[in-house]
C-alpha cells in the first residue's frame, strides 16, 4: 500500500512538474523527467512492479525518444502522419493564397502565440504628426472644414464647386503621392487625421478625399506602375487635374470579388490611328465612388488570351488597368443614392472597349497579377480610411452628447445626471477612447513599414461596429433633436452613413469570420502556414520541424491557460506597475486561452472550420479584442497612466476582457465535440468564466468625465473640427455650453436659496429679479444666468421647413 501511495503521489507531482515545464515552453523536458521518475520508482520498488509501470515507462520513453532523436521521430511518426495531416489542412485557391500572402504579420502573431512579449509593444514608438503635417491640418484642413455646410451639401446633392476646387488645389487627393511627383506624401497618421477631421464636419467631403488615397489608381501606380505611368499619372492626380476611381464590385461579385465577370480579351486592334496589341474589355461595375465625375478609371477584370498572343496561358487571371473615361465606349455619369449621403458614387459599364496592353498597371508583364496587387494594397488601406471615419464619428458624438446632456434639462436636472443617460454616455466615451487607441497603434505600424493584413481587417470591422454603437447611443441621448434633419442636427448624417462603413471594403460579416480568423489562423499562427507550405512541397524535414513545433505550442498554451486561469493571470509578468499591470496579466492569460482554443478548433474540425462561420467568428472576436485591448494598454502607459483618463482606460479594458471571455465561452458552448468542449472549458476557465462588463459605477464615472465640459470630453475629441459659436449645430452648442458653465455657480446659489425658502419655487428666470433684490445674486451673476437660459432655449430647438422648401431639398 505504501508503494502504491508513493506512486500515486509521485504521479500528481509529476503532472504538476509537466504542466510547469510546459508553461515555461519546455514540454519535452517534462517527458524526460517523467521517464526518469518512473525509472527511479522502478528501482526503489524492486521486483514488485505492476504491469502498469511498463506501460508508463513505454509512454515516457517513447515520447522522450521522439523528442530527442529527431531522425527516428521523423521516420516513425512524421513520415506516415504527413499525408493524413495534409488531408485535414484547409485547401486554398490561388486567390485565397494571394490574399493570405498579402501584407505582413505583426503584433497579431504575438497574440496567436499565447505569450505576448509586452516589452516589445511598449518599446515600439508610434510616429506622431511632424511640423509640416500639423501646420497643414491646422490651416488647410481647418479652412476647408470652415467652407463646408453639411446640410447644404445634402440638400444640393453635391459638394459646392468652391469646395471641389479647394480639395484639388490643396493636394488632398494626393496625400499618398510622393513629393517628387507633386504630392503631399503624408504619413498614415496624417491621412487618418485629415479624414477624421473632415468626417466630423461632412461625411461626403471625407469620402471624396479618402477614396483617391485608399485602394485606387494612385496607390496601384505608386507600387506597381511603370516609370512612364508614374511620370504621367501621379503629378496629374496629385494636382487634382485627374479624378480617379477604381471599379472592382459587380452585381455578381461583391465580397467574393474574385468571381467577377468583367473580361478582357487579348487581341490586335486600332487605337489612336495605329494598330497595336491590346485587349477588348467588357465590364459592368457598381457602387464605384467618384465614378460619376472620374476622368481616369482603374478597372479590375479577368484577362484571357485565347490566341496565346502573349505566348503563355490562355487564362491569365485578374488584371488591373487604367482607362481614361474619355475612351470611346466607357459609360459613366449615372449616380447611386447611398442613403442620401451625396458623395459621388455610381455604376460604370463598357462593351468591347479596345485599349493597348500598356494600359495595364505595370505594363503587360503584370497581366494576371491584379488580385495580388489589390490584396497587398488592401492589407494597409483597411487600417486608415474607415477607422479614421469611425474615429471622426465617435469623437463628434462624444462632443455633442457631452454638451447636450449638460445643457438639456428635464425634471429640474441636466439629463446627463439620469442613470439611463449615464449608461449611454459612459459607453460612448469608453468606446471612443478604445477606437482611437487602436487607430493610433495601427497607424504606427503602417508608418513603420508594416502591412499587417489581419490587424487592418480587425480595424476595419471592429471600429466601424463600435462606431455604430456609439452613434446609435448618441441618437438616444439627443432624442428628437437627432431625428429632425437640418443645420442644427449634427448627428443625422453620421447616423445615415453607418451602413456604408459597415459594408464597404469587405462587409463586416465576411471580414470577421473569413479574414480576421480565416486568414489569421494560418498567417498569424506561429506554425500553421509553415505546415501548409511544407505539406504542399512534400518537404518532410520542414514539415517535421513545423508539426512538432506546433505540438509543443499546444502543450505550452494548454499549461499556460490552466495555470493563468487558476491565478486569474497573476502568474504572468506585467511590464509596468499601476492600474495597467493587472490587465497585462489578464491579456497574457487570454492570449494563451485563445491559442489553445484556436488550435483545438482547427484540430477537431479541420478544413470544415472554414464553413463554421459562427465558430470562426467567435475566435475572430477573441483575437480582435486581444489586439484592441493591447492598443488600449499601450496608449494608457505611453501617456503616463494619467488620472484624467484612468476611468476611460479601466472601462475600455473591462469591456475588452469581457468581450474576449464572451467570445471564448460562446465557442465552448457550440463546439460540436462536446467532450472536447468540456475539457477545453475546464482548461481555460478552471474557476469558471467570471469576467463582467464595465460596472454601473465605472460607467457613471466615465460619463461624468464628459459632462460639464470636463477634461475627458476635450481629450477624447481632439481630432475633430469645432466651428465657431455663430454657426448652428456644434458651434452654437459649444457656445451655449460655455455660457451654461459660466452661470453654473450662480444657478447653484439660486437653487440653494430656493431650498432654504429664501426665494420662492419657480422657473429660474421668474425668480431672478427677486434673487438680485435679496442679495442672493449680484447683477453680473443674474446676467450670466439670463444669457445661459437664452442660449439654452435656442440650443434645444430643432429645424423646421416650409413644405415646398423641404420637397426641393429632397
Could you identify the residue written with the cell 488647410? Answer: 140
803 to 645, 796, 808: CA distances (angstroms): 47, 22, 9
CA-wise closest residue to 497 among 393, 647, 360, 382: 393
Locate 797 and state its grid cell.
430647438
> 289: which strand partners?
345
CB 773, CB 758: distance < 8 Å: no
Question: Which uninterrupted H or E stretch holds 536?
Answer: helix 528-537
CB 183, CB 195: distance < 8 Å: no
CA-wise closest residue to 468 among 412, 413, 508: 508
Strand 296-304 versus strand 263-271 pairing type: parallel
> 288: which strand partners?
346
Question: Which uninterrupted H or E stretch holds 135?
Answer: helix 131-136
List CB contacts of 138: < 8 A, sequence separation 6 or more: none
Q: How far apart are CA 175 and CA 218, in angstroms?
A: 10
CB 699, CB 426: distance < 8 Å: yes
DSSP code for 322: E
Q: How far apart are CA 679 and CA 777, in angstroms?
A: 71
254 to 347, 353, 506: CA distances (angstroms): 14, 23, 8
401 to 422, 689, 707, 730, 746: CA distances (angstroms): 11, 34, 8, 10, 24
Count the Cβ atoms, other than its own, within 10 Å of residue 336. Answer: 16
CA-wise closest residue to 319 among 379, 256, 266, 269: 266
Q: How far apart are CA 103 and CA 111, in angstroms?
A: 18
CB 62, CB 76: distance < 8 Å: no
CB 22, CB 559: distance < 8 Å: yes
Q: How far apart are CA 360 and CA 564, in angstroms?
A: 55
Tell me phi and psi for residue 481, to 5 degrees: -65, -20
Locate 405 and state its grid cell.
446632456
3-state secondary structure of 340: coil
CB 680, CB 714: distance < 8 Å: no
Show which residues are catalytic. Answer: 505
Locate 232 and state its grid cell.
504621367
3-state secondary structure of 102: coil
Locate 416 and state its grid cell.
446627463
CB 330, CB 323: distance < 8 Å: yes
Count the Cβ atoms, other than its own, within 10 Å of residue 224. Answer: 21
505 to 43, 215, 258, 386: CA distances (angstroms): 67, 9, 14, 9
DSSP per-residue letters across 385-407: HHHHHHHHHHHHHHHHHHHHHHH
Locate 220 and state its grid cell.
496601384
Q: How far apart are CA 111 and CA 625, in angstroms?
A: 10
CB 686, CB 566: distance < 8 Å: yes
Question: With helix as H, strand as E and coil as C, how does 16-59 read?
Answer: HHHHHHHHCCCHHHHHHHHHHHHHHHHHHHCCCCCHHHHHHHHH
Locate 136 and state its grid cell.
497643414
Locate 397 and state its grid cell.
458624438
Amino acid at each position: 500500500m505504501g508503494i502504491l501511495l508513493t506512486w500515486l503521489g509521485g504521479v500528481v507531482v509529476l503532472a504538476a512538474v509537466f504542466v510547469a515545464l510546459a508553461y515555461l515552453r519546455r514540454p519535452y523536458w517534462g517527458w524526460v523527467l517523467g521517464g526518469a521518475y518512473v525509472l527511479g520508482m522502478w528501482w526503489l520498488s524492486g521486483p514488485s512492479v505492476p504491469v502498469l509501470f511498463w506501460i508508463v515507462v513505454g509512454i515516457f520513453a517513447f515520447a522522450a525518444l521522439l523528442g530527442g532523436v529527431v531522425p527516428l521521430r521523423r521516420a516513425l511518426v512524421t513520415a506516415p502522419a504527413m499525408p493524413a495531416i495534409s488531408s485535414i489542412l484547409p485547401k486554398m485557391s490561388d486567390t485565397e493564397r494571394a490574399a493570405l500572402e498579402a501584407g505582413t504579420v505583426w503584433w497579431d502573431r504575438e497574440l496567436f502565440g499565447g505569450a505576448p512579449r509586452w516589452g516589445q509593444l511598449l518599446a515600439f514608438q508610434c510616429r506622431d504628426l511632424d511640423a509640416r503635417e500639423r501646420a497643414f491640418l491646422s490651416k488647410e484642413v481647418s479652412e476647408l472644414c470652415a467652407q463646408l455646410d453639411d446640410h447644404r451639401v445634402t440638400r444640393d446633392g453635391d459638394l459646392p464647386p468652391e469646395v471641389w476646387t479647394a480639395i484639388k488645389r490643396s493636394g488632398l487627393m494626393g496625400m499618398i503621392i510622393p513629393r517628387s511627383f507633386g504630392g503631399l506624401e503624408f504619413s498614415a497618421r496624417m491621412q487618418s487625421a485629415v479624414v477624421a477631421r473632415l468626417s466630423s464636419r461632412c461625411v461626403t467631403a471625407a469620402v471624396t478625399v479618402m477614396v483617391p488615397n485608399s485602394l485606387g489608381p494612385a496607390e496601384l501606380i505608386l507600387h506597381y506602375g511603370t516609370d512612364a505611368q508614374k511620370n504621367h499619372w501621379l503629378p496629374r492626380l496629385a494636382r487634382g487635374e485627374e479624378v480617379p476611381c477604381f471599379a472592382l464590385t459587380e452585381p455578381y461579385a461583391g465580397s467574393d470579388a474574385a468571381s467577377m465577370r468583367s473580361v478582357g480579351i487579348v487581341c490586335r486592334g486600332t487605337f489612336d490611328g495605329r494598330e497595336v496589341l491590346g485587349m477588348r474589355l467588357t465590364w459592368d461595375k457598381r457602387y464605384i465612388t467618384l465614378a460619376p465625375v472620374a476622368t481616369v478609371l482603374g478597372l479590375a477584370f479577368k484577362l484571357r488570351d485565347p490566341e496565346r498572343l502573349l505566348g503563355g496561358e490562355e487564362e491569365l487571371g485578374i488584371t488591373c488597368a487604367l482607362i481614361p473615361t474619355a475612351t470611346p465606349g466607357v459609360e459613366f455619369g449615372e449616380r447611386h443614392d447611398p442613403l442620401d449621403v451625396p458623395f459621388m458614387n455610381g455604376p460604370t459599364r463598357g462593351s468591347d472597349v479596345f485599349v493597348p496592353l500598356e494600359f495595364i498597371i505595370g505594363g503587360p508583364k503584370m497581366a494576371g497579377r491584379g488580385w495580388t496587387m489589390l490584396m497587398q494594397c488592401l492589407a494597409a488601406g483597411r487600417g486608415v480610411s474607415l477607422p479614421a471615419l469611425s474615429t471622426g464619428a465617435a469623437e463628434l458624438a462624444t462632443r455633442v452628447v457631452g454638451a447636450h446632456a449638460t445643457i438639456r434639462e428635464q425634471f429640474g436636472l441636466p439629463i446627463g445626471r439620469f442613470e439611463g443617460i449615464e449608461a449611454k454616455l459612459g459607453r460612448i466615451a469608453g468606446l471612443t477612447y478604445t477606437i482611437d487607441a487602436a487607430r493610433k497603434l495601427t497607424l504606427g505600424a503602417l508608418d513603420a513599414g508594416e502591412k499587417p493584413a489581419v490587424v487592418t481587417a480587425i480595424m476595419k470591422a471592429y471600429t466601424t461596429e463600435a462606431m455604430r454603437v456609439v452613434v446609435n447611443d448618441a441618437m438616444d441621448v439627443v432624442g428628437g433633436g437627432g431625428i429632425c434633419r437640418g443645420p442644427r442636427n449634427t448627428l443625422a448624417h453620421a447616423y445615415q452613413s453607418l451602413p456604408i462603413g459597415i459594408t464597404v471594403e469587405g462587409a463586416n460579416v465576411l471580414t470577421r469570420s473569413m479574414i480576421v480568423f480565416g486568414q489569421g489562423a494560418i498567417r498569424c499562427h506561429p506554425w500553421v502556414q509553415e505546415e501548409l507550405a511544407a505539406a504542399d512541397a512534400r518537404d518532410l524535414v520542414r514539415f517535421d520541424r513545423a508539426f512538432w513545433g506546433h505540438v509543443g505550442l499546444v502543450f505550452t498554451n494548454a499549461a499556460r491557460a490552466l495555470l493563468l486561469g487558476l491565478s486569474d493571470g497573476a502568474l504572468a509578468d506585467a511590464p509596468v506597475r499601476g492600474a495597467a499591470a493587472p490587465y497585462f496579466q489578464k491579456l497574457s492569460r487570454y492570449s494563451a486561452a485563445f491559442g489553445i482554443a484556436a488550435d483545438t478548433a482547427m484540430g477537431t474540425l479541420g478544413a470544415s472550420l472554414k464553413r463554421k462561420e459562427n465558430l470562426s467568428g467567435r475566435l475572430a472576436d477573441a483575437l480582435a479584442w486581444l489586439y484592441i485591448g493591447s492598443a488600449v494598454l499601450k496608449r494608457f502607459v505611453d501617456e503616463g497612466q494619467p488620472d484624467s483618463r484612468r476611468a476611460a482606460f479601466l472601462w475600455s479594458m473591462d469591456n475588452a476582457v469581457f468581450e474576449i471571455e464572451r467570445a471564448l465561452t460562446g465557442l465552448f458552448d457550440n463546439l460540436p465535440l462536446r467532450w472536447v468542449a468540456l475539457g477545453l472549458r475546464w482548461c481555460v476557465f478552471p474557476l469558471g468564466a467570471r469576467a463582467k462588463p464595465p460596472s454601473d459605477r465605472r460607467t457613471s464615472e466615465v460619463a461624468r468625465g464628459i459632462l460639464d465640459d470636463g477634461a475627458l470630453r476635450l481629450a477624447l475629441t481632439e481630432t475633430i473640427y469645432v466651428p465657431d459659436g455663430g454657426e448652428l449645430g456644434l458651434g452654437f452648442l459649444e457656445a451655449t455650453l460655455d455660457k451654461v458653465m459660466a452661470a453654473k455657480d450662480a444657478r447653484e446659489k439660486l437653487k440653494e436659496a430656493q431650498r432654504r425658502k429664501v426665494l420662492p419655487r419657480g422657473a429660474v428666470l421668474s425668480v431672478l429679479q427677486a434673487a438680485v433684490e435679496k442679495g442672493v445674486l449680484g447683477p453680473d451673476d443674474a446676467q450670466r444666468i439670463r444669457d445661459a437660459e437664452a442660449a439654452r432655449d435656442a440650443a434645444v430647438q430643432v429645424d423646421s421647413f416650409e413644405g415646398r422648401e423641404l420637397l426641393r431639398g429632397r
